[in-house]
A and B are shown apart, each in its own frame.
Chain A
Amino acid sequence: MSSVKDWAAPNPITENRGGLIGKGVERYEGRLKVTGSAPYAYEVEAPSRPAIGYMATASIAKGRITRIDTTAAEASPGVLLVWTHLNVPAQAPRGTRANPRSQRPSNPALAGDRIENFGQTVAFVVADTFENARAAANLIEIEYAAEQGVVDFVASFDQADQPPGEEDVHIGDFPAAFAAAPVTVDETYESPVQNHVQMEPCATTAWWDGDKVTVHTSIQMVKGGQHALAETLAIPSDHVHLLTRYIGGGFGGKGQAYDDLILSALAARALGQPVKLAYTRQQMFHGTIHRPAVSMRVRLGAQPDGRLTAFAVEAITHCARNAIFTEHAANFSRNLYAAPNRLTGHRLVKMDLPGAGPMRAPGEAPGMLSLECAMDELAEKLGLDPIELRIRNEPDVDPETGKPFSVRQLVQCMRDGATRFGWERRNPKPGQVRDGRWLVGMGMAAAIRGNFLLPAKAGVRIDADGTITLRQGMTDIGTGTYTILAQITAETMGVPMEQVKVEMGDSNFPPAPGSGGQFGAATAGSAAYEAGMNLRKALTALAVGDPNSPLYGGPAEYVTFENGNIAIENRSETLAALVARAAPDGVYVEGSISPAADARDYSQHTYGAHFAEVGVDTVTGEVRMRKMFGVFAAGRILNAKTARSQITGGMIWGVGTALTESNVVDARYGSFINQDMAGYLVPAHADIVDLDAIFLDEADDKANPMGIKGVGELGICGAGAAVANAIYNATGVRLRDYPMTPEKVLEGMLAVGL
């Protein structure tokens, strides 16, 4: 196993002779996307015209189907099949892992008469057209024996347990230190259920060839989807060819196999023709995962100079009864601020709601909404600037583990951001700045998000015309993966971008873990880099061993790759010439990456600082963004353009978190009240004003050979808290219940006499 010492050696990426690393090149697949010609899962060309599926879903949260009548649906025009739990083909029981190497177990659809959440699929129709399938699905009659489910989170805190296998982290003596602290904050912050609302609903097109199935599906994890389908159908995984080339947004919500994948594959087999199935927008809210609500109690105890002596962050959250998931909302706080006496932990309520699961920056995204406001509250009590308070609690080493940081530029992010944003314009006394009917305020928050590297492989081949093709079972959910892999491959091989092709999202390709946890670029990219380095070795051996090559005889250690040439000083030829002559069938090699044995000796994170300026309408309570700026440090940046887009996108998610995004449970039915995009409000164009971000120069040689880190999730971390702190600075109203909608703001302003 490699060591971080190996990673620190100079390499083609860190040398960047071609200048492609960091360059804001246009998206690799950009032309396909702006012309509408990139086929998403529901749009791929099948061997013949697909039949269309449509799902019917449960209208209770918990209970049993007592009667289901499909007679009218079956007689409806164009209907090809109608399935319920009574007649769906055999599937492996849920959780089956016949192959111990499967990354995901079986996940059968229509698996029984039990209802475990509102919106569970209870029947499935396939017809010749979408209109006929939808009409028939609406003719299915279902009766239930409903049972009382646990659906009210706040009313169920007494049922909260320690998540399985976890313990609270105690360091020092928090209770004593908190009791002794001269200045304290003890507040609880609430964040609601949130939904991913990817623009493309989950969808699959499936067809069979003999006993093998091809599925084009919208999923973030290629192997996970392939294995889940194979386990569910009880067939070998190499009988499932899963493709996911273009994905209309994921954000964590497409990390697993849903019913569209299972049912379309089953129906295509039963009918002997291609079948495609998409969730409706409404079905997405219940049929796929959501971010659970989190209630966080934060207790801070400080000395008069601002130094924290007592620090506790405790989260209560929830998940589905039969799908354990913990939103680790307190974890980030273990690495952020110094304090000798610490307590952090989680409690989990099992509920009869749809499955909770990861959504962009799971843990940090809701978690930072609490602590980063509590720090603002503490700063005010101490009479300190919020940045200064954070600087006074900047740790020398990881405050929980004592490990050294690989690199940490949090203070630089805050200082640089303050200057660029104009933080000195902020009046620390709230409610002082008026602009007509608006009150104006500024807030800031820190950002932290862990950095990860997972095992991955990549394959790369060069053909006789010099074209270099990278192949990887990786996904691009809009993150820019195609583009950065092309840049890495081109820079590693010393060729122009035009000479590189990237093929991804295919279960036949060398596996990568997919998109999630902001590990994609570092993980897939490092494997691509290693594959490229192996291709350099192979081509070097080819050239120095070929009497017809100007490089014949070496020395191999002096070989360079630049401008499409392989060279030893002034002896050179093009890669195309070498391969055409010496290996006309092309050269294919693979590379792999895995975490270095000693990488975890370092505390590795990405950091940032958010600055927000808002106006609050004193008449309506409406909050309008006026300006937002972020400074981030996330290792070496591969592409200035796509990285900025990732980060600003995350910041805008933070604005949605602070101001509009919430799903409310209807306790009568265990349903989410907001089931569409008119009810669940994500930010729109008019909500976002003057928002930008920059990256500090950085390279983290403990992270991976390229010194890069993830940027996909960092932008949301802390962003909502900066907005909340700006609302406080504008009005003097401290809200601790997200989102900060006009009625809450107005009520708060009335309470403080505004």
Chain B
Amino acid sequence: MKTTITVNGTARTLDVDSRTTLLDALREHIGLIGSKKGCDHGQCGACTVLVNGARINSCLSLLAMHDGDQVTTIEGLGTAENLHPVQQAFLENDAFQCGYCTPGQICSAVGMLQEAADGWPSQVMEDVAAMVDLSEAEIRERMSGNICRCSAYPQIVAAIRSVAGDAA
């Protein structure tokens, strides 16, 4: 079936199997390999992309559900020569090892920073009506959907905090 999505600013019309997930559409049909398949069950977060600005697990979503949507993948955030601030922070803080969860962590972090800026509360906030202060605890809570088996968690939190600090 035909689905039209805009990926990193470019409109694409795909005519693929209706069982195709958004993740497999990106990886197998559009050739954007940055979004990773770690579990295909929404448990690891390696496939995280931004859809209309919000982070989702692209493996848990069929392409057909996204007709007309704007999708941003890791490839749409920055390039090796012109890194997104979160990518730069991950590099400087050594916030990855094997690199397989990294695109998902970075997309998730970009989505999370926007959620925080928009005032979305989290479970670890004492006052959910207050402005979000992106403390380490707050970042850890909001990033817990992204597993890093190499366990670069301290470095990832430091990276995100450095960006959150810059933005504040």
Contact = CB atoms under 8 A, between A and B. Distances in A.
B43 interface: yes
B102 A36 contact: yes
Contacts of A678: 41, 43
A571 B16 CA distance: 67
A338 B156 CA distance: 41
| Number of chain B interface residues as a range | 35 or more
A94 B124 CA distance: 54
A364 B34 CA distance: 36
Interface string A137-148: 000000000000
B155 interface: yes
Interface string A7-43: 0000000000000000010110111111111111011
B51 interface: no
Given A35-B78, A37-B80, A200-B38, A247 B154 contact: no
Interface residues of A, number: 63
Given A132-B17, A688-B153, A38 B140 contact: no
Contact of A478 (B73, B78, B90, B98): B98
A637 B120 CA distance: 43
Contacts of A129: 16-17, 20, 28
B28 A130 contact: yes
A131 interface: yes
A645 interface: yes
B150 interface: yes
A734 interface: no
Contacts of A132: 17
Contacts of A31: 80, 83, 91
B74 A685 contact: no
B97 A686 contact: no
Most A CB contacts (10 A, CB to CB) among B24, B39, B94, B141 go to: B94
B27 interface: yes
B94 A35 contact: no
A691 B154 CA distance: 7
Contact of B20 (A24, A35, A131, A692): A131
Contacts of A683: 151, 153
Question: Chain A contact residues: over half helix, strand or loop, or mixed?
Answer: loop
Interface in A659-693: 676-678, 682-686, 688-689, 691-692
Contacts of B24: 130-131
Nearest to B153: A688
Contact of B106 (A34, A477, A642): A34
Contact of A248 (B40, B43, B75, B98): B98
Contacts of B90: 34
A53 interface: no
Interface in B154-168: 154-157
Most A CB contacts (10 A, CB to CB) among B34, B43, B144, B153 go to: B153
Interface of B: 16-17, 19-20, 24, 27-28, 32-41, 43-44, 46, 73-75, 77-80, 83, 87-88, 90-92, 94, 96-103, 106, 136-137, 139-141, 143-157
Interface of A: 24, 26-27, 29-40, 42-43, 129-132, 135, 196-201, 246-251, 278, 280-281, 477-480, 641-642, 644-646, 648-650, 652-653, 676-678, 682-686, 688-689, 691-692
16 contacts: A26-B92, A26-B94, A34-B91, A34-B102, A34-B106, A35-B34, A40-B36, A199-B147, A249-B97, A281-B41, A477-B98, A652-B151, A676-B41, A684-B147, A685-B141, A685-B156
Given A32-B99, A36-B75, A642-B94, 13 more contacts: A35-B83, A36-B35, A37-B34, A129-B16, A129-B20, A130-B28, A196-B149, A200-B98, A248-B99, A250-B98, A646-B97, A677-B43, A683-B151
